């Protein structure tokens, strides 16, 4: 069985899907599918970030932010290496609970 963790959203790059302060349930080491929200280690001195996995690329994933006016993603950084994809976001726990489904751009309310 995989490991689970909690992540807290900081910033506006995934708005409107996620908002600052949202608490997320993350499955570490889970298989990534296009459309998944993923926790990634961006290159350089950047902190962990939540992005949307768009498509597999050789050796990694092309990831995007939902808010084109905030944050960075593969459009500026290039594909993210596979080992930098830390986990898959399964659900928002608080303050507005929601489950997330792969290949969907919006969340599904439980």
In degrees to the nearest 10, what's the CA dihedral of 22, 14, 12, 23? 10
Residue pLDDT, tens place only, 4-24: 999 999 999 999 999 999 999
**Spans of all domains in the chain:** 3-99
pTM: 0.87
As given in the structure block, the two tokens for residue 49 are: 């970030």
Distance CA(41)–CA(38), nearest Å, equals: 10
If you ran DSSP here, which 8-state letter would residue 83 be given? Answer: G
Contact 5, 87 (CB under 8 A): yes
Query: Nearest to residue 53, comparing CAs of 81, 76, 25?
Result: 81
Query: Which residues in the chain show pLDDT less than 50?
Result: 103-110
Q: Which fold has domain 3-99?
A: Umud Fragment, subunit A (2.10.109)
Predicted local distance difference test score (pLDDT) of residue 26:
95
Contact 75, 65 (CB under 8 A): no
Predicted local distance difference test score (pLDDT) of residue 1:
54
């Amino acid at each position: 069985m995989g490991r689970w963790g909690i992540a807290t959203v900081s910033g506006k790059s995934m708005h409107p899907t996620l908002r600052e302060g949202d608490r997320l349930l993350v499955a570490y080491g889970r298989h990534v599918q296009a459309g998944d929200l993923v926790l990634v280690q961006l290159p350089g001195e950047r902190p962990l970030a939540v992005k949307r996995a768009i498509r597999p690329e050789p050796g990694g994933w092309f990831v995007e932010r939902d808010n084109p006016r905030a944050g960075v993603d593969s459009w500026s950084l290039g594909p993210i290496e596979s080992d930098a994809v830390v986990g898959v976001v399964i659900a928002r726990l608080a303050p507005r609970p929601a489950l997330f489904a792969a290949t969907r751009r919006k969340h599904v309310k439980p």
